[in-house]
Structure 1
Amino acid sequence: MPPRNRLLKNIIYTIILIQPLVVFGQRAHIAVNAAQVLNNIPANLYGSCIEDVNHEIYGGLYDQRIFGESFEEPKPNPSFKNWTVYDGNWTQTNDGIKVNGGPGFKLVNNKPLTGDYTLQVQLKFIKTGLNAGLLLNVDKAGMGADNFYGYEVSIDARRQMLVLGKHLNNWIPVKEEKININGSDWTTLKVAVNGNKLSVYLNDAKEPALVYTDEKQPFPAGKIALRTFDAEVEYRSLMVTQGSKTEKLSFEAAPVPAVSSAWDGFNTTQSGSFSIDTEHAFNGSQSQVIVHEGGSGIIGVANSSLNRWGIALRKGQTFAGSIYLKAQNLQGPVTVALQSADGRKVYALQNIANISSTWKAYQFRLTSNTTDPKARFAFYIAKKGKLWADQITLMTTGKDQFKGLPLRADIAVKMQQQGLNFVRYGGTMVNAPGYRFKKMIGERSKRPPYKGHWYPYSTNGFGIEDFLQFCEAAGFEAAFAINIEETPQDAADMVEYLKGSINTTWGKKRAQNGHPQPYKVKYFEIGNEEVIFNGDNAAEYDHYIERFTILHKAMHAKDASIKFINSAWWRPGSANMERVFKALNGKADYWDLHTDADAPNSGLKVDSTLTNMQALFKKWVPDYKMKCAIFEENGGRHDLGRALGHATTLNAVRRHGDFVLTSCAANALQALGQNDNGWDQGQIFYTPSQVWGMPPFYSQQMAARNHQPLRISSDVDKGLDVTATLSSDGKTLVIHIVNPSNQTIQTDLQIAGFKNRKPTAKVSLLSGAVNAENTPEHPDLISTKTNDHIFNGDLIQHDLPANSYTILRFER
């Protein structure tokens, strides 16, 4: 879900988690009747959602160790005196500064203000987007769209709206006022900060356009910043007034080498130079150029992988790579190497001679002579000449890759160990205009980069087909989403490519690309969270109905066995829902419902939502065909509370049986310290050299390992969340119990209809502090403990620890 549409959810989740569920010493009673089967349980219940947010793919599962492989990133921002850049490409103008459009780019002044002040700036939109403006009383700023505390005052030129909001590592809209401006003209934006009161003025107006007094949680005076959200904008005349003193803030900057910003240049020559060629790239829009003017010394560039964490090496580990090069009057070879972070130690190198004057791929293999978790890859020249470079690949080999695929084996295996049996590839990434299937197939080096939603310089090195190969190798049922603006012909060709015989035009292309057999994928989602950005918009729902219908017709004609998922945003109180349902029922097999799972007892809300959804479906069409698929079970945390939220969500889905296809916890992966969207919710975390499960990983694993296909009758009191399940042969009974309270609960359990049970039962337990997380230093702090317990007699007494998920497994 995009940051701008989360509203108050992050705050609400926090409030829920800090309000304890108190139980005052009473005993709880659970009654299970194995003779009363209520419904089947979805076979594909144990799902996960993966997309390229927080670098789940590019820098994560995808084995490519070079980050910035296509040199699409512009040269770095200048080093601005007294300013810190947090995302975006900020460049000086004659009397100010401008920035490209992107998700929450900000430029923060390093000097905090104290006391009351007035901040004023002039801005104009070069390309309109969501909004642009000022940040006030900023604290705890970091990379990422909403990663800071403070107020935002911005102008939305498209909607002609003045917007005021708050950020606490999220986005909380506070107030809006209608305005009348020309976004392409200079607009003066002025904010007077007087204690907890903000007064906002536009242009020469003497009366404020907006006034807000923060009575609940005012931010103290702090830093100020410029910020844009998806708008290319220019600023000038930034002034701050305190008392009788007014100061104009400048943007002094030191020049930086023209090296693509994911790379670092190094130069020991007297006169070598760097430049970025935007006209003759091999692929994408630009390539890196290095010039050696002769004499001694070397000049080159180095890459330290995602976030400049370093490339983790083991002694004897071999990497295979390729690099596209061309040269002009180059008198020596190009050297590729694995080095220490500072470049002083060389762990492996290879010289590539006779570089062509036209683009050509050169292969290399590098075997490290040492272990270093923070190494870098570099290439350089030591002789006179000019060198162009583009499309660089560096991947592991052998056991480090998952079943011969370009995937990190340690991450892929960890996902298998979680017990997943269904993985959905989708999310807001598919809403990017450049996200198109035909750009994702064939030779990786020729797949065009595109402007992604989460990362502006996204690679197509991993796409839908690569995802399907991963699921095929891992044994996961696969589902994926496509952009709703795909053409009908391209959508039909996609189905033929994935599922057609080799005698078809596109099936033959698939075989030529290395996969002769058709893929067994059957779940196709059209879009993602459609009609979410601008609220409950009837025209947008109509557009989605139109696009779904067109694409469904084209795709269904190619393969009638496909199961289609409708991604229109679910608003149960909206009259638009009935219209969407009636238009798509019979075409869409499932409606994608996105739920929340941060609170330990989240399943209660999920249960209610599913009950209401099913009732509405039946009301609208009594013999309805469409069911539900939970393709994103979202939240903002990855602690034990979230693990319990997932467990109670699974309990809720069990109660709704065949109505729900799966529940895909979001998100599958997260790079340590990487949070691009405020939804800090990875189930599996990783660094270049380590992979470990967070508490939700273990609740999923527990549930999957103890899956049984039949739900049987269970009654419970005292705030526990319980489901009971039975094997098809009636020999195994499993009880899932979540205690979401902060107190141990003593429990009496009675089991009927399960005679001749063995006295020894398996007890699996996940418990601890509700906000506890696993760390690289303590990766198993919160993990499952399984033991055998003796339970004699008809009445079983068992204590359920506070904040716990317990599974009791009985056999007979």
Structure 2
Amino acid sequence: MRKNVFLACVIAAGFFAGLPESNAQTKTFTVKANEVKASVSPTLWGVFFEDINLGADGGIYAELVKNRSFEFDTPLMGWKLLQQGEEQGSLLVNNRGELNGANSRFIRVTSKTPTGNFGFSNEGFRGMGIKKGNQYDFSVLASQQEGTVSLVVELTNSKGEKLGSTTITPTGKPWKKYNASFTATATEPKAMLNIYMKGQGIVDLDMISLFPKDTWKNRPNGMRADLVQLLADMKPGFIRFPGGCIVEGRTLDERFQWKKTIGPVEDRGYLINRWNTEFKHRLTTDYYQSFGLGFYEYFQLAEDIGAEPLPILNCGMACQFNTAEVVPLESLDPYVQDALDLIEFANGSADTKWGKMRADMGHPAPFNLKMMGVGNENWGPQYIDRLKIFTQAIKAKYPNIQLVNSSGTDPSGERFDYLNGELRKMNADIIDEHYYRAPQWFLDNAKRYDNYDRKGPKVFAGEYAAQSVAIASPDNKNNWQCALSEAAFMTGLERNADVVAMASYAPLFAHAEGWQWTPDMIWVDNLKSYGTPNYHVQKLFSTNKGTNVVPLLLNNEVATGQDGYYASAVLDKNKKELILKVVNASNKTQETDFVIDGLSKIAAKGTLTVLRSDKLDQVNSFENPTAISPAVKDITVKDKKVKLPLQPYSVNVIKLKFS
């Protein structure tokens, strides 16, 4: 990683030795509001979801029980006996094998004492987050084999004190789902679920589940409401799912297969998560995917938050950093068929095979899928060979589906140059570029797209995040320096909205005790969540998207670093607003005039939203989640001019009404 010039300059300027300086010389920006340069795509700012850092199970997916159907490679991972000794009872893992491939295992529990002293517990995902007064819904698939055995279900805190309980008594041998609910009496971030056997006999159990009642929209099998709300508040134009590298898998056997994630939850597959042992510094050997959060739920989430769905599918290649397995071209048909079937699942009528599956799951109307990704960070001729086959088949049947194609792992170099050239020869719809780089790279590349071909493929800035230390370093922080540099870069994305159609920060979620990669946009634990400074930057841009780009000039030039300024401007023709985004990346307060040309009438009052910190190493945290958060104040417009002191290290959004 090259030396961080930006931070070095800050230190040289004496910033950490005292208060920021003031620059008395006024800089004048001119807005050419009647010179529309580009239309802003409704999908310009979106979110990228990958099941990394316990992002799904243990994160946005609200299930509290880990390994609920005993399908992990170690069948009892997450579970432990509460009472040892054959005189009390025993637990045996049964495997039905091919009789039920997706959910082949269950446990057979023998209770030898009527006292209720024998049982087992589940540890959850680094514990279970329980809230006082909240209802919890327990369910289990059970088959009473001999005698009568009741299940005494209880939550306890870290001291063993009971937080709530209920009892279920299965009846009869046929497998049946049993449900019960109870209300928690206290809040506890590290609760455990205990199940005691009361009575003598044998009972078979499977799909042992516990959900909070207050999921997003109170849906069974639902999502954590606080996490979905953070996404909804961003008003994203799209949501990309399910990844990321998990799409590829370490091997093709471990790739993400969307058909295994739909239908009844108990019939969905289980899969080891490829981030399980990817980083030796953050081994997470209990990381699996239950697929309770599947493609149906992803589509539903996109619909809920008003975002376009962007599914990414495996192109017949495993991760090239791992095994680099490929499917022979002559054997690629099943992979291509999966792509065609997914479009039918999303858009087909209930008369089609996969459209009927969607309707049977509760969504008769189409999801209106418009775009799809083929491959993730794949590279080389082998990717192009497979992509051509996918493209021909998809376009032949669904010519209006836009395809997102990989430009590899980096924003420059041999891999990128080859793919970028080949994709442009193919007249690709959208090229997905990724940048995990130092903050200085983002400042230097604010003008990256100024000279891109306006008639060529659109660009998807699919994964980006400034790295405070180095790529994939466990010491990376979501600090203000990184967020500020990303904001500067994003002004360049917005200015070039005729080239850049989509952009998303990555990764999205990270569990405080279960992460593998940093930095991440939203941090969570079992009870709380907060947005990082990077989240607030993304939200400021996404909620102030506008409809049309107009010039915002400093000395007749776009602002791409002169005096520390980075800037862009849009009109929102629907709301009749002019929106200016101006980053002051310098360590000085800058006196600034904004002169508005091309609008006949501007309201006398506008608003200024400021996101800033004097400390470039400042972060948000569970203890101080709003250390960096936006502040809004009114501003005055006089003679079509706004005079503002722009504070050091600040992101500023100026909104003016016009008529």
State the TM-score, normalizing by the size of structure 1.
Answer: 0.67
Match in the other structure for 1:697: 535
Q: Does residue 306 in structure 1 map to residue 137 in structure 2?
A: no
Paired residues of 1:302 and 1:379 also in contact (CA < 8 A) = yes
CA distance in 2, matches of 1:56, 1:685: 10
Q: Could you tell me how far 1:525 is from its partner in structure 2?
A: 0.2
Among 637, 641, 644, the alignment partner of 1:798 is 644
Counterpart of 2:551 in structure 1 is 713
Other-structure match for 1:559: 398
Q: Which residue, 462, 480, 496 being the options, matches 1:631?
A: 462
Structure 2: which amino acid aligns with 1:20? V
1:449 maps to which of 267, 270, 273:
270
- The residue that corresponds to 1:759 in the other structure is 604
Any gaps of 5 or more consecutive residues in structure 2?
Answer: 14-19, 277-286, 317-333, 468-476, 555-561
Task: Please state if 1:666 is matched with 2:497.
Answer: no
Q: 1:499 to 1:419 in 2, by over 3 A?
A: closer
Are residues 466 and 298 of structure 1, via their aligned partners in 2, closer, same or farther at CA, if it must alter by over 3 Å? same
**Amino acid paired to 1:654:** E
Contact 1:600/1:641 (8 A) holds in 2: no
* Corresponding residue number in structure 1 for 2:80: 264
1:20 is aligned to 2:18: no
Q: For the residues of structure 1 that align with 2:574 and 2:137, how far apart are their CA atoms?
A: 51
SS in 2 for 1:607: coil
1:466 has 2:297 as partner: yes
Of 364, 382, 385 in structure 1, the residue corresponding to residue 198 of structure 2 is 382
Matched, 1:732 2:577: yes
How is 1:288-299 mapped onto 2 (pairs within 5 angstroms)? 288-294=107-113, 296-299=115-118
2:179 is aligned, of 364, 388, 391, to 364
Deviates more, 1:487-496 or 1:421-430: 487-496
Tell me how far 1:603 sits from its aligned partner: 4.7
The 3-state SS of whatever aligns with 2:227 is helix
Inter-CA distance 661–396: structure 2 relative to 1 (3 Å threshold): same
* Equivalent in the alignment of 1:652: 492
Query: Is 2:29–2:592's contact at 8 Å kept on the other side of the alignment?
Result: no
Q: 2: distance between equivalents of 1:668 and 1:303?
A: 27
Distance 1:735 1:293, change over 3 A: same
C-alpha separation in 2, matches of 1:719 and 1:424: 33
Displacement, 1:427? 0.7
Query: Secondary structure in 2 aligned to 1:471?
Result: helix
- The change in CA–CA distance for 1:555 and 1:13 in structure 2 (over 3 A counts) is farther
Distance 1:757 1:597 in 2: 40
* Counterpart secondary structure, 1:45: coil
Partners of 2:636 and 2:642 within 8 A in 1: no
- Report the CA distance shift for 1:794/1:353 in structure 2 as closer, same or farther (over 3 A): closer
| 1:584 to 1:809, Cα distance in 2 relative to 1, 3 A | closer
Name segments (4+ residues, structure 1) moved above 6 Å.
Answer: none
Contact 2:563-2:586 at 8 Å conserved across structures: no
1:594 Cα offset (Å): 0.9
Q: Which amino acid aligns with 1:681?
A: D
Aligned partners of 2:144 and 2:171 also within 8 Å: no
The 3 A distance-change label for structure 1 pair 377 and 805 is: same
Instruction: State the match for 2:385 in structure 1.
Output: 546
Call closer, same or farther: CA 1:591–1:288 in 2, change over 3 Å. same
CA distance in 2, matches of 1:60, 1:586: 39
CA distance in 2, matches of 1:668, 1:513: 27
For 1:588 and 1:576, how far apart are their aligned partners in 2?
Answer: 15
2:414 — aligned with what?
574
Looking at structure 1, the residues matched to 71 and 7 of structure 2 have their Cα atoms a distance apart, in angstroms, of 42
Q: State the match for 1:392 in structure 2.
A: 208
Once residues 13 and 700 of structure 1 are traced to their aligned partners in structure 2, the CA distance between those partners, rounded to angstroms, is 26
State how far apart, in whole Å, the 2-side matches of 1:302 and 1:600 are.
Answer: 50
In the alignment, the residues of structure 2 paired with residue 17 and residue 276 of structure 1 have an alpha-carbon distance, to the nearest angstrom, of 59
CA contact (8 A) 1:447 1:460 kept: yes
Contact 1:594 1:634 (C-alpha < 8 Å) held by counterparts: no
Q: Structure 1: 5+ residue runs without aligned partners?
A: 1-7, 76-258, 532-540
2:143–2:176 Cα contact (<8 Å) kept = no
Pick the aligned partner of 1:318 from 130, 135, 144: 135
Q: What code does the residue aligned with 2:10 have?
A: P
Q: Which amino acid aligns with 1:30?
A: T
- Contact 2:136-2:184 at 8 Å conserved across structures: no
Cα pair 2:603 2:656 within 8 Å, conserved:
yes
Q: CA deviation at 1:791?
A: 4.5
| Contact 1:564–1:589 (8 Å) recurs in 2 | yes
CA offset digits 1:141-185 (Å, max 9, x no partner): xxxxxxxxxxxxxxxxxxxxxxxxxxxxxxxxxxxxxxxxxxxxx
8 A contact 1:491–1:554 mirrored in 2: no
Corresponding letter in the other structure for 2:292:
G
Residue 714 of structure 1 deviates from its aligned partner by 2.2
Q: How does 1:86-485 map to 2 (within 5 A)?
A: 260-267=76-83, 271-272=87-88, 277=93, 279-280=95-96, 283-284=102-103, 286-294=105-113, 296-308=115-127, 310-315=128-133, 317-326=134-143, 328-345=145-162, 347-354=164-171, 356=173, 360-374=175-189, 375-397=191-213, 401=217, 406-425=222-241, 426-432=243-249, 433=252, 434=254, 435-455=256-276, 456-485=287-316
Task: Name the residue aligned to 2:378.
Answer: 530
Shift in Å, 1:364: 1.3
Question: Per the alignment, do residues 550 and 272 of structure 1 end up closer, same or farther by CA in structure 2, a change over 3 Å counting?
Answer: farther
Aligned twin of 2:68: 69
Q: Write the distance in 2 (CA, Å) between the matches of 1:330 and 1:568.
A: 62
Which moved further from structure 2: 587-596 or 725-734? 725-734
Given that residues 593 and 630 in structure 1 are in contact (C-alpha distance below 8 angstroms), is that contact kept between their aligned partners in structure 2?
A: yes
Distance 1:59 1:66 in 2: 9
TM-score by length of 2: 0.82
Decide whether the 8 Å contact of 1:42 with 1:662 is kept in 2. yes
Q: For residue 29 of structure 2, what is the aligned residue in structure 1? A: 31
Equivalent residues of 1:597, 1:603 under 8 A apart: no
3-state DSSP class of the match of 1:490?
helix
The match for 1:58 is 57
1:425-460 Cα distance to aligned partner (Å, 9 max, x none): 121111113311211111111111012212452211
Tell me what 1:180 maps to: none
Distance in 1 of aligned mates of 2:72 and 2:57: 14
Structure of greater Rg? 1
Letter in 2 for 1:675: W
Q: Check the 8 A contact 1:268/1:298 in 2, yes or no.
A: no
Q: Any conservation in 2 of the 1:66–1:393 contact (CA below 8 Å)?
A: yes
1:512 to 342, 348, 360: 360
Secondary structure of 2:37's match? strand
Taking a change above 3 Å as real, the CA distance of residues 24 and 782 of structure 1, as seen in their structure-2 partners, is closer
1:601: how far off? 7.3
Structure 2 letter corresponding to 1:367: F
Larger mean CA deviation between 580-589 and 477-486 belongs to: 580-589
Alignment identity in percent?
22
Report deviation, 1:345: 1.6
Write the distance in 1 (CA, Å) between the matches of 2:161 and 2:84: 13
Please give the alpha-carbon distance, in whole angstroms, between the structure 2 residues aligned to 1:562 and 1:382: 57
CA distance change for structure 1 residues 597 and 753 in 2, over 3 Å: closer, same or farther? farther
1:771 aligned partner: 617
CA distance in 2, matches of 1:580, 1:756: 45
Shift of 1:346: 5.1
SS state of the match for residue 324, structure 1? Answer: strand
Change in 2 beyond 3 A, CA 1:687/1:729: closer
State the alpha-carbon separation in 2 of the partners of residues 700 and 575 from structure 1: 28
698 and 351 in structure 1: CA distance in 2 versus 1, 3 angstrom threshold: same
